[in-house]
């Protein structure tokens, strides 16, 4: 709680509870005493948040729709809600400006807010304690299972922060999938069983979408009008924007997809963006669902016999493990974390990350579906657009900005560790013991993309060879000094050492030709027109 100079008299008035657009949960810490203390709940649509990066249109529409529905639900409950719309007269466009204006509209004694997800906003909040004329109480974010301080304690003194160690601690702490202090089924991790390719002719489950209601349609129209040049379109918008719909979406996933989720967790298929994935990350990250309830529901489904253990574990690990871990890492290591560039990568982001116009069929698939749905699943993000960015040596800052823009679930606390650490290894190994570099063979094994590609995934060199193949070896050559000593990279470096000079030279030539053609493609004006 902020202290105030002793000579100042406490202001009389009510509590102002600021709820940010990704804190839309009735149990969020800023609202826990709403019933007893009352006060005014403030929600604000501000241009600054929609444009600090030029978010995908669906992300902005999703959040505005969810904020408007949440405000209605609070009102129905009897709460006093002050809702500022983007186009309201006098809207200053920033959280700070809107707090200042709210203090002129209401007699306020103190402000209560839950800590934000992003460092950028955290810094802003620190400023409020000095600049605003009332005390500002910043409460811990209770939507996560691991408090920031607990993660910081765990991370203290460790250079490498391995997810698996953290995850086991979280299983013990929560008792999820535990029996008598031991992991259910005798193993912590069933990852090895979660790597199947989709069989030919496999019938995927139908997915439920949510038809935009009048409030959501209005939010979409607002976004089309105010942010017409942002990336993406809203034609296929079908995200759940209320807690009730998010719960319906979770229920559908648990019944129809989770029993098979684990098997095909890493699979990819042309024109099939969703497969068995949960599609809950926008709702989860905005507060419509909580990590705890989702994990408990998945565990229950297993204990009731509806879901095999490897599927329940594979899913729970993503949330209890990865999601909590990246959030903890972000807060433990920011702001320095974002600044490193361990592999000194500097190539500009190719234009096809926006347009999808490329002969690399796998990239085209992921970019096109991302434009249409503001969604790509984990392996697409990691092993297609991510892997390409790594082995082509793309500038981490530009890649990170792209990931923050294009997905409906993107917030820096989750995007940055995944991109900077897991994908680009720009943190020099804090997060992952080795870079996830892979050749075209991985994509071919896990998808049917290569079948429809102009390149030949089996060819290693030459103009028709899959660029992932020579870029992979070129990446190893370029980073030999930095990576050859890494135990986990020993095998590929042994293979590289066995290559004759001619092969190495050919790899370098193919890679240079391809990468130079990318640079030639760069065109700022074109990029702006596609965004
Ligand atoms: P499912 O595959 O069904 O998984 C269930 C849930 O597990 C997800 O909803 C998510 O909450 C959690 N989860 C899974 N993997 C991760 C992970 N690596 N980190 C954190 N949570 C995870 N997720 C985001 O929410 N926002 C991002 O901005 C984001 N950026 C990413 C960038 C890259 C390069 C990579 C490799 C992953 C990123 N992820 C991000 C993680 C993951 O890709 C998405 O959470 C997932 O695709 C969301 O879809 P889903 O709900 O269908 O997930
Ligand atoms: C992402 C986003 C957008 C586009 N717009 C708003 C907004 O108008 N009002 C708001 O309260 N929050 C918005 N957000 C979410 C914030 O960016 C998010 O709360 C911060 O990044 C902190 O995590
Ligand atoms: Fe992607 Fe290479 Fe396969 Fe084409 S051949 S889809 S570029 S992995």
If one residue of 352, 357, 361 were mutated to test the ligand 3 pocket, choosing by the most ligand atoms within 8 A of its CB, it would be 361
Residues 271-301 pLDDT 10s: 999 999 999 999 999 999 999 999 999 999 9
| pLDDT above 50: residue 369 | yes
Range of the domain at 412: 352-528
Domain shared by 89 and 214, yes or no: no
How far, in Å, is the centroid of ligand 2 from the Cα of 410? 11
The predicted model gives 128-147 an average pLDDT of: 96
Strands 178-179 and 182-183, bridge-based pairing: antiparallel
Read out DSSP for 430-461?
A: SS-SS-----HHHHHHH-SGGGG-SSBTT--S
For residues 244 and 356, state if they share a domain. Answer: no
**20 CA distance to ligand 2 middle (Å):** 6
Give pLDDT, residue 193: 75
Atom of ligand 2 nearest to the CA of 118: 23
Same structural domain, 155 and 132: no
The answer to whether residue 346 is domain-embedded is no
**CA dist 460 to 226, 480, 530, Å?**
47, 20, 33
The answer to whether the predicted template modeling score (pTM) of the entire model surpasses 0.85 is yes
Q: Is the CB of 475 under 6 A from ligand 2?
A: no
Indicate which residue's Cα is closest to atom 20 of ligand 1: 323
Q: Is 382 in the pocket of ligand 1 (CB under 6 A)?
A: yes
User: Tokens at residue 483, please?
Assistant: 């990576």
Question: Domains in the chain: how many in total?
Answer: 3
The answer on 371 and 304 residing in a single domain is no
Which residue shows structure tokens 């203290």? 156
Task: Tell me the best of 269, 352, 360 to mutate to test the pocket of ligand 3, counting ligand atoms within 8 Å of each CB and taking the most.
Answer: 360
Residue 457, ligand 3, Cβ within 6 A: yes
Q: What mean pLDDT comes out for the span 377-397?
A: 98
Same domain for 297 and 216? yes
147 neighbors 170 (Cβ within 8 angstroms): no
CA of 189 to the centre of ligand 1 (A): 18
Domain-ending residue, one of 275, 305, 333: 333
Ligand 3, atom 7, residue with closest C-alpha: 360
Ligand 3 lined by 294 (C-beta under 6 Å): no
Ligand number with the minimum distance to the CA of 19: 2
Whether 46 is in the pocket of ligand 2, judged by its Cβ within 6 Å, is yes
Q: pLDDT, tens digit, for every residue of 191-243? A: 877 778 899 889 999 999 999 999 999 999 999 999 999 999 999 999 999 99
The answer to whether residue 374 scores a pLDDT higher than 80 is yes
Q: Do 181 and 246 have their domain in common?
A: yes
Residue 22 sits in a domain whose CATH number is 3.40.50.620
CB of 317 sitting under 6 A from ligand 1: no
Q: What is the largest CA-CA distance in the chain?
A: 80
By most ligand atoms within 8 Å of CB, the mutation choice from 281, 294, 377 for ligand 1 is 281
- 186 and 116 co-located in one domain: no
Residue 520 has pLDDT above 80, yes or no: no
Task: Identify whether 272 is part of a domain.
Answer: yes
Distance of CA 317 to the CA centre of its chain: 16
Given 117, 139, 161, which residue is the final one in a domain? 139
| 519 or 434, greater pLDDT | 434
Q: What is the pLDDT of residue 8?
A: 53
Q: How far apart are CA 384 and CA 352, in angstroms?
A: 13
Mean of the pLDDT values across residues 431-449?
A: 95
Kindly state whether residues 25 and 153 are assigned to the same domain. Answer: no
Average pLDDT value for the chain: 94
* Structural domain contains residue 343: no
CATH of the domain at 394: 1.10.579.10
Once rounded to an integer, what is the mean pLDDT over residues 161-175? 95
On whether both 459 and 499 belong to a single domain, the answer is: yes
Q: Is 449 in the pocket of ligand 3 (CB under 6 A)?
A: yes
User: What is the reported pLDDT for 519?
Assistant: 64
- Which bound ligand lies closest to the C-alpha atom of 436? 1
- Residue 4: inside a domain, yes or no? no
Whether 523 is in a domain gets the answer: yes
3 state DSSP class of 309: helix
CB atoms within 10 A of CB 383: 24
Spatial separation of the C-alpha atoms in residues 192 and 501, rounded to whole Å: 37
Q: Examine the domain organization and report whether 202 and 127 are in the same domain.
A: no
Query: Is 60 exceeded by the pLDDT of residue 531?
Result: no
- Does the residue 344 lie in any domain? no
Give CA–CA dist 166/319, Å, rounded.
Answer: 12
Are residues 376 and 488 located together in one domain of the fold? yes
Q: What is the pLDDT of residues 55-66, one digit of tens each?
A: 999 999 999 999
Same-domain pairing of 182 and 301: yes
Q: What pLDDT score does 6 carry?
A: 41
The predicted pLDDT at position 160 comes to 83
Give the other-Cβ count within 10 Å of 314's Cβ: 22
Proximal ligand: closest to the CA of 330: 1
User: Mean of the pLDDT values across residues 394-398?
Assistant: 98
Mutate to test the pocket of ligand 2, among 23, 46, 49, 219 (most ligand atoms within 8 A of CB): 49
Give residue 185's pLDDT band: very low, low, confident or very high (50, 70, 90): very high
Determine, yes or no, domain membership for 340: no
Residue 458 lies in a domain: yes
Q: Quick one: average pLDDT of 254-277?
A: 94
The string of pLDDT tens digits covering residues 95-109 is 999 999 999 999 999
CB neighbours of residue 44 within 10 Å: 26
CA 401 – ligand 1 centroid, Å: 16
157: helix, coil or strand? Answer: coil
Domain boundary among 103, 122, 139: 139
Question: For residue 62, which ligand has an atom nearest its CA?
Answer: 2
Question: pLDDT exceeding 70 applies to what percent of the chain?
Answer: 96
Ligand number, closest to the Cα atom of 380: 1
Joined together, the tokens standing for residue 306 give: 């509806």
Q: Give yes or no for residue 71 CB within 6 A of ligand 2.
A: no
Ligand 2 contact via 467 beta carbon (within 6 Å): no
Task: With a cut of 60, say whether residue 171 has pLDDT above it.
Answer: yes
């Amino acid at each position: 709680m902020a202290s105030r100079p002793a000579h100042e008299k406490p202001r009389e008035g009510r509590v102002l509870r600021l709820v940010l657009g990704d804190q839309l949960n009735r149990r969020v810490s800023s609202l826990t005493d709403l019933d007893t203390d009352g006060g005014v709940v403030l929600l604000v649509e501000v241009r600054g948040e929609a444009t600090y990066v030029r978010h995908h249109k669906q992300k902005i529409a999703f959040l505005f729709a969810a904020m408007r529905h949440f405000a209605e639900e609070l009102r129905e409950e009897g709460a006093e809600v002050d809702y500022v719309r983007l186009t309201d007269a006098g809207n200053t466009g920033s959280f700070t400006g809107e707090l200042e204006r709210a203090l002129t509209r209401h007699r306020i004694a103190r402000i209560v807010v839950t800590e934000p997800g992003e460092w950028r906003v955290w810094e802003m909040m620190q400023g409020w304690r000095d600049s605003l004329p009332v005390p500002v109480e910043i409460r811990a974010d209770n939507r996560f299972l691991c408090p920031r301080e607990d993660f910081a304690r765990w991370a203290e003194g460790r250079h490498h922060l391995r997810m698996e160690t953290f995850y086991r601690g979280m299983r013990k702490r929560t008792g999820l999938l535990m029996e008598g202090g031991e992991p259910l089924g005798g193993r912590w991790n069933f990852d090895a069983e979660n790597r199947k390719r989709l069989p030919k002719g496999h019938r995927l489950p139908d997915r439920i979408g949510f038809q935009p209601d009048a409030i959501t349609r209005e939010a979409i129209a607002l976004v089309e009008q105010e942010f017409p040049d942002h990336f993406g379109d809203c034609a296929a918008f079908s995200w759940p924007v209320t807690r009730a719909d998010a719960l319906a979406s979770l229920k559908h996933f648990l019944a129809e997809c989770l029993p098979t989720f684990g098997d095909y967790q890493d699979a990819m298929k042309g024109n099939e963006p969703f497969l068995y994935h949960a599609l809950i990350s926008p709702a989860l990250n905005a507060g419509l669902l909580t990590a705890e309830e989702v994990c408990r529901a998945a565990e229950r489904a297993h204990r009731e016999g509806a879901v095999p253990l490897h599927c329940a574990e594979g899913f729970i690990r993503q949330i209890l493990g990865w999601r909590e871990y990246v959030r903890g890492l972000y807060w433990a290591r920011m702001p320095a974390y974002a600044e490193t560039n361990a592999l000194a990568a500097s190539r500009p982001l190719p234009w096809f990350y926006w347009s999808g116009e490329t002969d690399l069929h796998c990239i085209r698939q992921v970019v096109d579906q991302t434009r249409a749905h503001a969604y790509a699943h984990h392996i697409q993000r990691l092993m297609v657009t991510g892997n390409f960015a790594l082995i082509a040596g793309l500038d981490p800052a530009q890649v990170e900005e792209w990931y923050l823009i294009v997905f409906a679930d993107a917030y820096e606390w989750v995007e940055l560790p995944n991109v900077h650490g897991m994908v680009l290894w720009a943190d020099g190994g804090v997060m992952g013991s080795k870079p996830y570099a892979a050749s075209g063979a991985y994509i071919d094994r896990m998808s049917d993309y290569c079948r429809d590609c102009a390149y030949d995934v089996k060819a290693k060199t030459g103009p028709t060879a899959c660029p992932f193949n020579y870029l992979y070896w070129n990446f190893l050559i370029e980073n030999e000094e930095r990576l050859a000593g890494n135990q986990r990279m020993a095998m590929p470096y042994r293979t590289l050492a066995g290559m004759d000079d001619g092969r190495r030279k050919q790899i370098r030539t193919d890679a240079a030709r391809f990468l130079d053609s990318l640079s030639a493609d760069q065109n700022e004006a074109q990029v702006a027109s596609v965004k």
